[in-house]
């Protein structure tokens, strides 16, 4: 049985559980149990503190884990990054008081910077030849400049509203982070096989989210142009309509290209365009 560690509370918990459900894995975690066994897949879930997950995976107590990339890099445990999951996106940034005149990273020289991420920050400072003092604290990092504890901070940023509220401005992005799937380097052959099955499901779910299924009616004299625009997974499905000179076209469009493709389809005379979400997509 494959053992996976996920966050028991916090910003990654809901998306982690949602992903497992979308992969068809049914869990019963009533009364906030610290572990749960899936009904229909050989997997056991441990609910842990985010900061503890890399250690559990490294020690082999958990075979795999879902954790923020920022935590993975900060703990510096020798475990594998298997898959970038695309949720829990944020950035680790340096912020200074709004009133401070800031010209570049060199202005951090000689400052005292408060952070929870001393390992990542020190690597950044060393790599940029910056001589600054790191003041390591946990929680409420953003208030450090306001109470005279530090000149600047290095902390996670999502919207930036917390920085604004505390009179700070973001000046340097050190790391762009998201939830990642990690694994112990010494998985058994059995658990490696289970992980491969899980990765197939995860990839099908994530790929589906990035694509849309479209159906449209197209004039036959434009089918060549439309087919070139809509390659789909291999090529679009084209079926003649009862009305002469027209065909039905079905294909898949990447979310990032969606509106540009729709505009071009309209210019080629496409009509009755229907867009549907894709639940799973196995390529």
Q: Are residues 23 and 41 in the same domain?
A: yes
Q: Quick check: 231 pLDDT over 60?
A: yes
51 located within any domain? yes
Answer yes or no: do 229 and 106 share one domain: no
184 in the same domain as 64 = yes
Q: Which two tokens stand for residue 190?
A: 């059995």
Q: How confident is the model at residue 139 (pLDDT cuts 50, 70, 90)?
A: confident
Q: Same domain for 69 and 192?
A: yes
Whether 247 maps to a domain, the answer reads: yes
Name the average pLDDT for the chain. 92
**CATH number of the domain that 8 lies in?**
3.40.190.10
58 & 132 share domain: no
Do 8 and 39 belong to one domain? yes
Residue 15 lies in a domain: yes
Measured in Å, how far apart are the chain's first and last C-alpha atoms?
26
pLDDT tens by residue, 262-276: 999 999 999 999 999
Q: Can you give the pLDDT at residue 158?
A: 84
Contact 54, 72 (CB under 8 A): yes
* Rounded Cα distance, 268 and 214, in Å: 15
Judged against a pLDDT cut of 90, whether residue 159 lies above it is answered with no
Torsional sign, CA 10, 14, 20, 26: positive
Q: Which helix (H) or strand (E) holds 239?
A: strand 237-240
- Quick one: average pLDDT of 120-136? 95
Classify residue 227: in a domain, yes or no.
yes
User: In 3-state terms, what secondary structure has residue 137?
Assistant: coil
Is 188 a member of any domain? yes
User: Which residues, 6 or more positions from 242, have their beta carbon under 8 angstroms from its beta carbon?
Assistant: none
On whether both 186 and 75 belong to a single domain, the answer is yes
In which domain, by residue range, is 109 found?
A: 90-177
| Banded model confidence at residue 233, pLDDT cuts 50, 70, 90 | low
> Do both 51 and 191 map to the same domain?
yes
Based on the fold, state whether residues 189 and 220 are members of the same structural domain. no
Q: What is the pLDDT of residue 30?
A: 58
In a domain, 167, yes or no: yes
Residues 162 and 152 in one domain: yes
Within 8 A by CB and 6+ apart from 256, the residues are: 210
Structural domain count, the chain:
3
Q: Residue 236 sits in a domain of what CATH number?
A: 3.30.70.120
Q: Are 101 and 77 a contacting pair, CB within 8 Å?
A: no
Confidence band of 232 (pLDDT split at 50, 70, 90):
low
Q: What is the dihedral of CA 202, 204, 210, 211, to 10 degrees?
A: -170
The answer to whether residue 283 is domain-embedded is: no
Cα(133)–Cα(124) distance, integer angstroms: 13
CB-CB contact of 46 with 54 (8 Å): no
Quick check: is 282 in a domain?
Answer: no
Chosen domain end from 187, 207, 227: 207
pLDDT in tens, 2-25: 999 999 988 899 999 999 999 999
**Is the same domain home to 96 and 46?**
no
User: Phi and psi at residue 235, in whole multiples of 5°?
Assistant: -160, 155
Contacts of 71 (CB under 8 A, 6+ apart): 50, 51, 53, 54
**Strand 237-240 with 246-254, pairing:** antiparallel
Contacts of 274 (CB under 8 A, 6+ apart): 214, 215, 216
**Are residue 61 and residue 98 in the same domain, yes or no?**
no
């Amino acid at each position: 049985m494959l053992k996976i560690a996920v966050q028991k509370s916090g910003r990654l918990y809901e998306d982690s559980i949602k992903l497992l459900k979308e992969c068809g894995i049914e869990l019963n975690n009533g009364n906030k149990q610290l572990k749960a066994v899936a009904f229909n897949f050989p997997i056991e879930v441990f609910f842990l503190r985010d900061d503890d997950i890399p250690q559990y995976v490294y020690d082999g107590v958990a075979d795999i884990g879902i954790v923020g990339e920022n935590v993975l890099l900060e703990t510096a445990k020798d475990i594998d990054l298997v898959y970038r999951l695309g949720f829990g996106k944020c950035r680790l940034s340096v912020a200074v008081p709004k009133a401070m005149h800031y010209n570049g990273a060199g202005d951090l020289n000689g400052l005292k910077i408060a952070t929870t991420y001393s390992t990542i920050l020190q690597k950044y400072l060393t790599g940029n030849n910056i001589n600054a003092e790191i003041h390591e604290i946990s929680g409420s990092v953003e208030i450090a400049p306001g109470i005279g504890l530090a000149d600047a901070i290095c902390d996670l940023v999502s919207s930036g509203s917390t920085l604004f509220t505390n009179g700070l401005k973001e000046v340097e992005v050190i790391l762009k982070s998201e939830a990642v799937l990690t694994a112990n380097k010494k998985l058994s052959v059995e658990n490696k096989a289970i992980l491969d099955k899980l990765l197939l499901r995860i990839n099908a779910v994530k790929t589906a989210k990035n694509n849309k299924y479209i159906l449209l009616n197209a004039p036959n004299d434009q089918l060549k142009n439309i087919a070139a625009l809509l390659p789909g997974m291999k090529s679009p499905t084209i079926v003649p309509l009862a009305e002469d000179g027209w065909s039905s076209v079905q294909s898949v469009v990447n979310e990032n290209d969606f509106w540009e493709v729709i505009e071009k389809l309209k210019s080629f005379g496409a009509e009755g365009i229907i867009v549907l979400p894709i639940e799973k997509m196995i390529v």
